[in-house]
Amino acid sequence: MSADAAVMASAALDRLLHRSTVINVKGDSYRLADRRKTGNPAAAHAAAEAADAAPA
């Protein structure tokens, strides 16, 4: 991501969220739990890593 794109993304989020309450939810999503139930551990592991890498 270029510096200009990061600045634009930050500005857009600032305008969208300036009067909002941000709630960070911990734990597995329904999608991740479903992948684990279906027995696809590689996909579940990749989804968990992606969720952990998401900005808070």
pLDDT value of residue 8: 95
b/e per residue, 15-28, with b = 16+ CB within 10 A?
A: eeeeeeeeeeeeee
21-52 pLDDT tens trace: 888 888 878 888 888 788 766 665 666 677 66
pLDDT value of residue 12: 94
d(CA 18, CA 32): 30
pLDDT value of residue 29: 83
Tokens of 29: 């999503």
